Amino acid sequence: MVCTNKVLFALFVAVLGIGALTAFNPARAAPAVSEIRIGVHSEKLRIVLESDAKLPAIAFELGGPLRIVLDLPDVDWRIDPARGERGRGFVGSFRFGQFAPGRSRMVLDLTRPALVDKLFHIPPVGARPWRLVLDLAPVTAEAFTRHLARPDAPKAEPPARTAVIVPPPRPAPAARKKVVVIDPGHGGIDPGAVGRRKVYEKFVTLAMAQQLQKELARRGRYRVVLTRDKDTFVRLRERVGIARAAGADLFISLHADSIANRKVRGAAVYTLSETSSDKEAADLAAKENKADLIAGMDLTGESTEVTNILIDLAQRETMNHSAAFARVLVDDMTDLTKFVRKSHRFAGFAVLKAPDVPSVLIEMGYLSNSADEARLLKPSYRVELARAITEAVDAYFERRARENGQ
């Protein structure tokens, strides 16, 4: 125990040394922020910054106009500045960038008074990086004013008035746009699940696919292909074929389930596996795989190819990427939707069997549950869901680019 202080002192010196380098040597890599997410949790908002190192941070409120400020050390913002143009919930918009030498700042514009509720770190878990979490809680205008008037409140923030936040340069356009193929489940003669109010799955999936296409296209860095853009029947093999022909980098199949128990609700994200994670997942895969049968297709000579694709090494790598995307997806969608108890599951879906395209299947909810059905029918909910999925797509490609050292 005697040496503990010495060790601590050595660490302290080391940290100081690194700090000095960070401030004066721009060539030294600052912690990189790779993702910013805003989640709505009933009344509160949660802002999450993902980074490759722990980010010391201070958050405080400013009035006239209403703002929340998050002060950080020098940070490498690997985020498109356009992301801040539209916020979420009572955060109307936000900006981020270098604020002063060695300092970065994020400013959130509020559309109603809110206070910093919590600020904490989540250390890396599995493939997830460091996360800095800022929770904001709405308050009355009186409470906000009272809070700013407290004796220890940061008084007028001179730098905030004079300094201009320098936005980071926009990421260089990639040589080739990433291709995202969206696959609205079922269609034409195959309605898919039928809801309590006779809502057909095939219409819900198509509406959602079109919304997601719009949201992804707005990013300007994806080429988006739909396996169908109208109410037509497309065979499962063809869906996989469309993805491969388009040179898909990511394949997202959209579905909505229905079961006898009307109380069951929630979403789930599936990826391919030789063995299903549980019987329910296996049954669901069997049900979804029936699409071709429902449409009266003759599967002779094809079923073996569709159902017995050997899972080789290439596919295993694809499966790892699929699983990585599924985890980000579950994380981003958690703000919005309840998940069935195991949110990421594995099963043998025919539509996920392109051996070289990372693929996931999203069951967005249960049409047999009136609450889920009502939400999926609401355009505003579909917009939110499309945004959550888009953020997950961004996070997935940004991570892969980093892994490949691009």
Chain residues that interact with Zn ion, rule: CB under 5 A:
185, 192, 255, 288
Cβ pair 4, 99 in contact under 8 A: no
Q: In the complex, what is the shortest distance from the CB of residue 303 to Zn ion, in angstroms, rounded to a whole number?
A: 19
Distance between first and last Cα of the chain: 45
By beta-carbon proximity to Zn ion, the closer residue of 74 and 288 is 288
- Give the DSSP letter of residue 169: P
By beta-carbon proximity to Zn ion, the closer residue of 72 and 285 is 285
By beta-carbon proximity to Zn ion, the closer residue of 73 and 191 is 191
Cβ pair 305, 353 in contact under 8 A: no
Q: In the complex, what is the shortest distance from the CB of residue 152 to Zn ion, in angstroms, rounded to a whole number?
A: 56
Residue 62's alpha-carbon distances to 69, 158, 166, 401, in angstroms, are 7, 12, 20, 37
* Of 250, 254, 237, 240, the residue nearest 291 (C-alpha): 237
The values of phi and psi at residue 49, to 5°, are -110, 125
By beta-carbon proximity to Zn ion, the closer residue of 138 and 195 is 195
Q: In the complex, what is the shortest distance from the CB of residue 192 to Zn ion, in angstroms, rounded to a whole number?
A: 4
Q: In the complex, what is the shortest distance from the CB of residue 189 to Zn ion, in angstroms, rounded to a whole number?
A: 14
The edge-to-edge listing of strands for the beta sheet with 91-100 is 58-62, 67-73, 103-110, 91-100
Q: In the complex, what is the shortest distance from the CB of residue 288 to Zn ion, in angstroms, rounded to a whole number?
A: 5
Token pair for 177: 């746009």
By beta-carbon proximity to Zn ion, the closer residue of 183 and 335 is 183
Peptide bond into 191 cis (omega under 30): no
Q: In the complex, what is the shortest distance from the CB of residue 376 to Zn ion, in angstroms, rounded to a whole number?
A: 12
d(CA 340, CA 270): 12
By beta-carbon proximity to Zn ion, the closer residue of 31 and 184 is 184
- Give the DSSP letter of residue 8: H
